[in-house]
Structure 1
């Protein structure tokens, strides 16, 4: 590709899709048809935008940015565009020989006014030593020509400085680059009529900044290092978000890394020119979210800019029809459960912004059967940075930044002890399903902030009977179990499989998951209860559950009861178990399994009821309404103590 200045009769409508703007959607709104239906020479840009070539029809248009609508810029005489040359970043969507249509009436805000005519110079084409250099220069010139009021001096300085870096690195020739920058500077509108831009003033500033940039030469490899345009100022914490990794830099690091912009420190320049009010993690949204704020209750309309920490995947899909080897592996591992597993994966790939309200539990008695191998292309497809791995102890800890993931895998869920298993199950309810629609993220050295609850949970385990806890009424887990062992795979199976991944398999699986029809898959519906699900439920049925059920049967399954009543109707061994202090935290769970829940006294701060002079908890049938539960508790006290004392 190479950059060139535009002839005087051409107006290019530049439709951007970045920084929270969608110029394509605005074009279709204004034009009344899809951009694909609009007959004109069109170019796909390197950032998924579109250049639409039109005829000025004798009118005098100017270079603008967001004047017509957000995301719609114009490039006219003196402006620069990149011409495709087969390198893949820019390419023609239609033939370049397509007849130019007349510029649309809605482009009138881009017409040059009398006040726009300031000092001008002949716009000149340029072609430097490389297509890369031309693209750098074209981008700089376009930004300068369209700079808004109050931003012109900073834009002219910064862009000239950047170009100077590449002049110093031998990517661009000095004199043609300066000439192009000066010509672009002459296209800036004179907003200040008392102190207008002069040819000498523009040329002096350009030369000074280019020569300063040459002292820090760059040849393109520096794009892997940070530049000021790689940062946004996060005002709530006065730190600076590094776009490629989403990490936070302090002001001292910014000022230590970058020179001043004019007379302004780099950190202050970011505060003034690239500031965001909030940050969140929201799949499906642009990197910069405009005029909305994320609260604990969700989105609200509010002026400002939010930085979206979510980064979409970058994968070049292959051929979906050639993903059969991976599908065979999934079916080999999990048999009849494979279809549901693949649908779950496809939903995460196609709609990461939609919460899936159940977790996958993937288990096997033996390690080394290829669960990790099965997940690897899924990780690549959603983006490795959107796939997290933690253990149960981390999940139960304070810091929870790992929930900013499209898929979070909780590894090796195993015997945590009865109390910890219940705690883990209760703790995960918030994260496996929504509501809540918004989660609060607590990360070390960062203020808490709100994100969308879009994480999909996968739990892997090699322990069916001593792993996770699942009650019979659970509606948040789909359990798939494999009975394979490492010996079931032939020698060389894994090397061959992984080689296929690297050569072509990853791309084919990505294409398959993106194209898989999930129209009949409801991510909000409770999942089917598999045979493995019931195996885990049955494994969690402790002997004490049956003994408690027997005691309640002996009591006649009353609407309300206490532990003391149960003890009096239990065998000696179970009665002793109920009285041991170490078992007290388990007792409420045992009652729940038998259909009873605790009811707090509404008149006592500690929630305990006074029965026969002893403070204790009352258990009532969970099927009763709240009102009837309280009535049942009071009736129990009345039966125990008489009508004049309800234990209140």
Structure 2
């Protein structure tokens, strides 16, 4: 048995001017293409509330006081009762309760910084929040029940490492905003409009009448400059070290010990095995023989194939051993950090780990 709890919001003929809303969107979304997609994304909520797009929005601003809270307040009024404003995303990810999201078509986060040194802590939980078709609603007081997920996400942050993203992410569309705040007089006029029911109604009607025939809710968000910056900022030092190994280690094979030394910033104990496996796998490396030990320079090691997997995955152990030993050449005593540093310089890459 299922129940449709959505009730269409009645909109009356609008006479109020919606230009302040559109002008502020233009200010916050300076790229014309991204702005048009965002407006259609909002209009899609009004016109097809039960159809969940495959992505949410992450808006990163270099300055505070730009009026994003005003935009959030307008949207909370346009779909009053169907919006979860001021969501504490870290607390929500940590909690077993998700009642505030029940029956919502839009959730908004004021500020978040969940990427960085432990980006995978709640990554899977976040994925399920964004685009799971169905979810279990677990209110703090009351019974659990299953609900169709129609909740879009609009996240505001002043940090590029706002969310735990990886290079294959297709759940977030990212834009950045670097303009200085508008004049105090402008914000005074904007905030006065929040109490104008005719203005709120006019914004809702404008979204209802917008042509969204070209909008694709299943589109994969583009990897633009803003998203590249967010992807890079959300990576931990371990992830960045793994990418350096794949790009610059002077042989196609590396031992577990050498990889652990580099990824542990000079100490084999500086990185956990699980974190190392995850980072190397995400960087494109594969473990030889599912962890089968290979004797390299007289010591047994598990080995990782960093590049040319088609060549090395089926190689004999002695071939893996030879390739693994090749990185040091005649300098068997060199540390893994020194080997990688020399290789990076030879390749013209002087970026830090």
TM-score tier by shorter-chain length is 0.7 to 0.9
Instruction: Please give the per-residue CA displacement for 1:434-465, whole angstroms capped at 9, x wherever unaligned.
Output: xx42212223343432211221111111112x
Q: Is the 8 A contact 2:293 2:300 kept in 1?
A: yes
Task: Tell me the equivalent position of 1:412.
Answer: 111
| Pair 1:342-2:39 in alignment | yes
SS of aligned partner of 2:154: strand
> Which runs of 5 or more residues in structure 1 are unaligned?
1-292, 294-305, 602-607, 641-648
Q: How far apart, CA to CA, are the structure 2 residues paired with 1:623 and 1:392?
A: 40
Q: Is the 8 A contact 2:238 2:264 kept in 1?
A: no
Task: Tell me the equivalent position of 1:373.
Answer: 70
Q: 1:516 Cα shift?
A: 0.8
| Pair 1:517-2:228 in alignment | no
Task: Tell me the equivalent position of 1:360.
Answer: 57
> 1:333 and 1:635, CA in 2 relative to 1: closer, same or farther beyond 3 A?
same
Q: How far apart, CA to CA, are the structure 1 residues paired with 2:15 and 2:142?
A: 42
| Pair 1:470-2:165 in alignment | yes
| Pair 1:461-2:154 in alignment | no
Task: Tell me the equivalent position of 2:130.
Answer: 432
Q: Is the 8 A contact 2:49 2:150 kept in 1?
A: yes
The match for 1:494 among 187, 208, 219 is 187
Task: Tell me the equivalent position of 2:229.
Answer: 535
Instruction: Please give the per-residue CA displacement for 1:152-193, whole angstroms capped at 9, x wherever unaligned.
Output: xxxxxxxxxxxxxxxxxxxxxxxxxxxxxxxxxxxxxxxxxx
RMSD (CA atoms):
3.6
> 1:362 and 1:621, CA in 2 relative to 1: closer, same or farther beyond 3 A?
same
> 1:589 and 1:410, CA in 2 relative to 1: closer, same or farther beyond 3 A?
farther
Task: Tell me the equivalent position of 2:313.
Answer: 632
The TM-score normalised by the length of structure 1 is: 0.43
Task: Tell me the equivalent position of 1:31.
Answer: none
SS of aligned partner of 1:497: helix
SS of aligned partner of 1:335: coil
Q: How far apart, CA to CA, are the structure 2 residues paired with 1:394 and 1:578?
A: 33
> 1:535 and 1:456, CA in 2 relative to 1: closer, same or farther beyond 3 A?
same
Task: Tell me the equivalent position of 1:566.
Answer: 259
SS of aligned partner of 1:478: strand
The match for 1:449 among 114, 131, 145 is 145
> 1:595 and 1:506, CA in 2 relative to 1: closer, same or farther beyond 3 A?
same
Q: 1:550 Cα shift?
A: 4.7
Q: How far apart, CA to CA, are the structure 1 residues paired with 2:50 and 2:288?
A: 39
Q: 1:520 Cα shift?
A: 0.5
Q: Which has the higher contact order (CA 8 A, sep 6+)?
A: 2
SS of aligned partner of 1:443: coil
Q: Is the 8 A contact 1:317 1:510 kept in 2?
A: no
The match for 2:277 among 554, 567, 588 is 588
> 1:312 and 1:622, CA in 2 relative to 1: closer, same or farther beyond 3 A?
farther
> 1:501 and 1:389, CA in 2 relative to 1: closer, same or farther beyond 3 A?
closer
Q: How far apart, CA to CA, are the structure 1 residues paired with 2:92 and 2:274?
A: 21
Q: 1:598 Cα shift?
A: 6.2
> 1:527 and 1:611, CA in 2 relative to 1: closer, same or farther beyond 3 A?
same
Q: Is the 8 A contact 2:54 2:218 kept in 1?
A: yes
Q: Is the 8 A contact 1:320 1:511 kept in 2?
A: no
Q: How far apart, CA to CA, are the structure 2 residues paired with 1:428 and 1:622?
A: 31
Task: Tell me the equivalent position of 1:399.
Answer: 97
> Which runs of 5 or more residues in structure 2 are unaligned?
322-353
Task: Tell me the equivalent position of 1:299.
Answer: none
Structure number with the higher strand fraction is: 1
Q: How far apart, CA to CA, are the structure 2 residues paired with 1:349 and 1:637?
A: 64
Q: 1:565 Cα shift?
A: 5.0
| Pair 1:323-2:18 in alignment | yes
Q: How many matched pairs? A: 313
Q: Which has the larger radius of gyration?
A: 1
Q: How far apart, CA to CA, are the structure 1 residues paired with 2:42 and 2:222?
A: 16
**What pairs up with 1:17-32 in 2 under 5 angstroms?**
none
